Amino acid sequence: MTEHPILAARLPGMNADALGHVTQTYGPADAPVSIALPKLDAAAIAAVAASVKTATRRTLKTYPVARIVDTLDAAIARLLDRAHPIRRQMDRLLPRLTGYDADMVGLGLTRYLMTFRKPELLRFLAEDFPNPAILDGFQPLPKGGYGRAYGADLTAHIWAGNVPGLPLWSLAAGLLAKSGAVGKVPTAEPLFAGLFVDALAEVDPALAECIAVVWWQGGEEAPERALLEAAELALAYGGNAALAAIRARTPITTRFLAYGHKVSFAMIGREALDAAKTAETARAAAYDVMRYDQQGCFAPHVIFVEAGGRSSPERFAGHLAQELQAFERTYPRRALSLGEAADVAAWRAAAETSPGGAVIGDPAGLWTVAFDDGTDGQFSPSSLNRAIRVVAVQRLEDVAARVAPYRRLLQTAGLACAPDRLFALSAELGLAGVRRVAALGDMTAPEAGWHHDGRFNILDLVEITEIDGRALPTADRLAAYVD
């Protein structure tokens, strides 16, 4: 069955039909999805950017932040409703587009969207602003004087990757900062951003015009330059090489924030490995490995397991294998490209031949657990796609030193340990560069308002205009009512 190509772009103030499109086909041969991606040259990007800026000044800039929160909340409520037409489109199309298991995408989306409801958005704001009213008007500053936070007229968002929903982070943060957005979607998952804008448009069409969703072929420089020229702030996601190229094209007057690739790992204390808890611990770890086939930066590459518990690290690896096997049936891994399959095979071969190493799992299987008895013991990246290495360690306290060489890449550590160790270990991990410590099983679902890669979500997007502390007393002298 062929369907009309689905439009990925949202171009307020522009006649999308007048543009040329590239039609890209995704998904399995028996259920392909055609997506129409717009061909936008530099002039078209400049026009879209101008239109978004105008809309932003007209609407978004005049909204109190509470209204933006309510609007986002209402849009998210629509997307949380599995029967809503836009959510149904997401549930139907995103799995086919990305190859991820449909149940995994559906459940993952719900869990993710729940972190953008009103209570969570208020938490976002509270996390960054002691007094969020600073986004609406001048507020007293502790040092004296008054300050008001202004988001950029236009923020450029350049997204990457294929984990559905990623654009929502920066779009929501940008809207709360009252900044218009032109977002460039990645070819791997071009649909979510536009569908989110549709949900927003159902609640407040004028607000939805403050967001444009665009695309250009990776490597095309002219449209990217045009966007980076038009924007005051650019947020870019992706690998370091891609980010460096984008940064090189960014004018010095456009502030540039990069979210590069990160790696994560897990640590399991001997107290989580007694006869009752081993299976439960393994299940939580397997869940983190299974979610989006480790494609997100929150996913573990290595699990360090402490010796001395009732289950040895090797026994734990066996439990982990069984849990991955079970998930393979309930949430199958997506079909891999030849390159990805070769990466997994090479990773597996290296694990098999390393001293003190062993591999559990059928070579034809769809998951791999490698076990390292500690002979190597070091952190090393996984091939991803449900390949995980279990490394035996004598003490969890030894782990921070082993990951420290990767400090610029570290992000999340998933911990299973008793409370007294949680803080001591976190202190060491923070020093080593880890920016998020999560419970095992929650690694891939960060809570609302977490400090993304250690930074502030909204605060990083605004600039403060301040009224100098001496300005008011000086103005007082000019007041009509002064005696």
Partner 1 sequence: MDFAGKTVLVTGASRGIGRAIATAFAGEGAGVVVNYLANTEAAAETVAACEAAGGDAFPVQADVTDLAAAARLVKEALDQFGRIDVLVNNAFGPYRFDPETRKRHWELDWNDYQRQIDGSVKAAHGLIQAVLPGMLARADGAIVMLATDLVARPSVPYHDYTTAKAALIGYARNLAAETGPLGVRVNTVAPGLVYPTDASRGTKQAMRDAIASQTPLRRVATPADIAGPVLFLASPWARFMTGQTLYVDGGLVMA
Closer of 223 and 441 to partner 1 (Cβ):
441
C-alpha 319/C-alpha 160 separation (Å) is 34
Among positions 34, 187, 322, 380, the unique one binding partner 1 when judged by CB under 8 A: 322
Q: Which stretch binds partner 1 (CB under 8 A): 130-138, 163-171, 319-327, 344-352?
A: 319-327
Q: How far is CA 95 from the centre of its chain?
A: 18
Closer of 81 and 103 to partner 1 (Cβ):
103
CB of 110 to partner 1, least distance (A): 9
CB of 370 to partner 1, least distance (A): 21
Among positions 25, 85, 88, 103, the unique one binding partner 1 when judged by CB under 8 A: 103
Decide: 188 and 163 in contact? Cβ < 8 Å.
Answer: no
CB of 366 to partner 1, least distance (A): 14
Cβ count near 232 (within 10 Å): 18
Decide: 321 and 341 in contact? Cβ < 8 Å.
Answer: no
CB of 329 to partner 1, least distance (A): 6
Q: How do strand 154-158 and strand 146-151 relate by DSSP bridges?
A: unpaired
**3-state class percentages of the chain: helix first, strand second, coil last, to nearest 5:** 45, 20, 35
Q: Which amino acid is at 421?
A: R
Closer of 121 and 286 to partner 1 (Cβ):
286
CB of 341 to partner 1, least distance (A): 23
CB of 327 to partner 1, least distance (A): 7
CB of 279 to partner 1, least distance (A): 7
CB of 167 to partner 1, least distance (A): 25
Closer of 143 and 329 to partner 1 (Cβ):
329
Q: How many residues bind partner 1 (CB under 8 A)?
A: 11
Closer of 327 and 367 to partner 1 (Cβ):
327
Stated as kind and residue range, the H or E segment containing 147 is strand 146-151
Closer of 107 and 431 to partner 1 (Cβ):
107
C-alpha 162/C-alpha 334 separation (Å) is 12
At 446, is the secondary structure helix, strand, or coil?
coil
Q: Which stretch binds partner 1 (CB under 8 A): 12-20, 33-41, 69-77, 318-326?
A: 318-326
C-alpha 108/C-alpha 102 separation (Å) is 10
Closer of 293 and 323 to partner 1 (Cβ):
323
Q: Which amino acid is at 165?
A: G
- The values of phi and psi at residue 232, to 5°, are -90, -20
Q: What is each CA distance from 73 to 108, 150, 203, 206, 317, in whole angstroms? A: 18, 22, 10, 16, 42
C-alpha 156/C-alpha 171 separation (Å) is 10
Task: Give the x-and-dash track for 53-92 against partner 1 (CB under 8 A).
Answer: ----------------------------------------
Task: Give the x-and-dash track for 323-362 against partner 1 (CB under 8 A).
Answer: x--xx-xx--------------------------------
Closer of 107 and 427 to partner 1 (Cβ):
107
CB of 325 to partner 1, least distance (A): 8
By CB under 8 A, tell whether 408 contacts partner 1: no
Spatial neighbors of 342 by CB under 8 A, at least 6 apart, are: none
By CB under 8 A, tell whether 397 contacts partner 1: no
| Secondary structure letter of residue 204 according to DSSP | -
CB of 421 to partner 1, least distance (A): 25
- The values of phi and psi at residue 412, to 5°, are -105, 140
CB of 437 to partner 1, least distance (A): 24
- The CA angle 296-302-307, to the nearest 5 degrees, is 145
Decide: 158 and 236 in contact? Cβ < 8 Å.
Answer: yes
Question: Binders of partner 1 among 239-298, rule CB under 8 A?
Answer: 279-280, 283
What angle, 0 to 180 degrees and rounded to 10, lies between the N-to-C axes of helices 192-203 and 65-80? 120
By CB under 8 A, tell whether 107 contacts partner 1: yes
Q: Which stretch binds partner 1 (CB under 8 A): 320-328, 431-439, 453-461, 473-481?
A: 320-328
354 burial (CB, 10 Å; 0-12 / 13-18 / 19+) is middle
Residues that bind partner 1 (CB under 8 A): 103, 107, 279-280, 283, 322-323, 326-327, 329-330
